[in-house]
Structure 1
Amino acid sequence: MNAQKRMRVPFLRSIRGKMATSFTLVIVFIIIMVLGFVAIILVVGDGSRLGTTGYVNDVVSALRIQSYYYQDANGYSPERLQEMIEYISQQGYLVMPSGSWINTDKARLVHGTEFFVIDKNKMVVASTTQTPGYIVGEAYKPLESNEYEESNIDFLLDIRRSSEPVSFSRLNGAIEILVPLGGYSDEIDYPVWELSYIVGFTVEPAPRFSIVPFLQYLPFVLAIVVLIIVVVTPLGVIFGLIAGRGLTKRISNLAVASEQLAQGNFEAIPLDRSRDEIGQLNRQMRSMSQNLQTLMQSQQQLAAIEERNRLARELHDTVKQQNFATQMQIRAAQNLIATDPASVSARLNEAENLLRSSQDELAVIIRQLRPAQLEDRGLADTLRQTIRSWCNQTQIPVQVNITGERRIPLEQEQALLRVAQEALSNVARHSRASMVWFGLDYGPNELTMTISDNGVGFGRKPRGGMGLQNMQERIESLGGWFGTSSAPGQGTQVVVRLPLTGLG
């Protein structure tokens, strides 16, 4: 019951809550990305509204909007066109149309350039200059420096039935624009646009690209995003509740069973017949539970009290620590399954590896009651591997310092390994430390091992556990010395001194 109560967490921190949140965020992100991609396609695809081309098109639109105010019942007249270009020339600019993607609200005329209107007979009908060739009532004749202007005017007069403007850049960067003005006629079966006049003028270069014009659409975009979130969030919650229900139950059962297993209840593991990682982990735990029961039955049959005590120490120092590590991996998987499924698989694989290691350790204990890796690798390498594995499980860094490394009698190596495992287990369970320091010094006649942390510490020797007692008994049975020092808020230090005997 206590384990089940501890498993209850707020919805947003639960697997279902995290899956719902993840689903919602992913869907919202995808929709926003799609909208952004569509917007980019529209902007890039409609290049006529950007750069110099967009600038020229907006200037032409501004002129035509202005010209509508100077039409009469019969269309355009030279007198009204003269009024228009004089007004624009005195104003010095054309007002850009609303909704423009160009970062300016005015297209300024270049001072000292010609602003004129010619008819389809190339007669100047309106002008703001007295430059020869641009005088009202005379035939249009451009300056020698304006050779492109005449060729473009001839082009517009030749096609006549196109309202598309023509523009070109001058040497100083200014842009000269020629805008056809006209109307629709009924000379054939359907209305056809026909040129009446051409308006020529020069404006300053297009301004540099800026994001400012696009900010006008920001409220609309934000409204769309809010609407998407409002619609998608309930779907995400429903998905999380449905998809996470089964996973939550299965992982919660494993977590509760691992706690019961750590407390010695070997019948608490439910059967999970699925073939996924959780099912495999369940079967490994059940197999380990059966091995543990076999070991405990063997222990009860031991006649000698000394052997029973020794077996109890071995079980505490191996199986319990690895069960605790397995429990941590399962809890980590439970917390990560919604946000990082790839990491969940790694956590479950690590838990499975720990279970296999526990099974191997149990088999060795049953046969020899000593860790096999010490025979092959020695104490120093085994401790390094143990510490690396502990760091991966707890995410607590350890600074390791081993000096004078060499082999010592197997019984001493085994005792030191178990003390180190128990001390690290205590750090993970009780200290709340963020850093651990491990030292192993092989002296000429004495070996010293220290394990220190920067955790919460304690004011007096803790009660209710076998850990410190087991460590002290192990070391003292070999003629060594075991001690601890700690204070609240000052961390804890475990020190072991062991005489090196039996060395050849």
Structure 2
Amino acid sequence: MKVQSIRFRFIRDFLIMALMGGLIYFVFLQFFLFKYGDQVLNTKNILVLTFFLLIVYFILSIYFGYRNGRVISKRLDEVLSFVSILRSGKYSARAIEIEKDEIGLIFEEMNQLAMFLQDQVRSLQRLADEKTELANQAHHAAVIEERQRLARDLHDSVSQQLFALGMISSAALRTVQSDPNQTKVMLEQIANISAKAQGEMRALLLHLRPIDLKGDTLNEGLNKLIHELKEKTNLDIECQLEHFDTPSKAIEDHIFRIVQEALSNILRHSQATKVRITLETIKDQIHLYISDNGKGFKVERNLMTSYGLQTMRERCEELGGVFQIRSMEEEGTYINIRIPL
């Protein structure tokens, strides 16, 4: 049994309590002997001495119990606080001034766990970097395939619609004087087909829009994205972006895509008029906060079925971060993300 253990501390305190109780009892007994002499062993005095001994041990038990309980409770509160810090994603935290008892061993193991989690975060971010590099390499191969797909789409939709426009407009020119009513029907068909063709072209241009930073910094990419949304939508976007340098390109790409996915969800589903975006660093963490005043939803039901929410959570977890979302119907949605640096 180790001298520093909690068990030894209890045994030591109980021995001290017994010695103190015995000493007090001995002094009290000497007082009785001095006062009553040979009459000390009568029934009344024995009862008084026994009752006094019980009171002494009762008081000593309360004192030592409260003292030991307070010490252990304080140590356990420190354990709980340390667990909460690790749960919040601050894996760089360490317990200091560790005593060599059972609770101290728990702190040492938790320090080792924090180091392990920190190494895991580094590994995740390194894998994310490698994934980004592989994605960039795959991008060049995908460009040719995308060009071929766009060529097929142009041929199958817009090209055929333009051909139909040419045919109908030629026919309308031939009937403009002989059959004005038929010409009017043809012109209506031309207007409908041109509107459809314009919609197809907008869809194709939307697919051509870049979905990553393309060499920009995170702040530059987010500012461009938000500026474009302000020009093309009626969203009131309040933005607060702190400028900082991240050690990983993957972190910037993932944060940009998370914001992009969140804004896409807001535009498609929330019916919001105001959006707030905050990006800042607090100690050793990146904090990303996105909120809107939309119609909200039930998180438990949508978190597992929404592809956009799953994508944001997966990107956050790839960086070793913590993803939190709160939403209530008719009260908006709040996303809070913390990523360790």
TM-score bracket, normalised by the shorter chain, equals 0.3 to 0.5
The structure, 1 or 2, with the larger RCO (C-alpha pairs under 8 Å, 6+ apart) is 2
Q: TM-score, normalised by structure 2?
A: 0.42
Q: TM-score, normalised by structure 1?
A: 0.29
Asked which structure has the greater CA Rg, the reply is: 1
Determine which structure has the larger helix proportion and give its number.
2
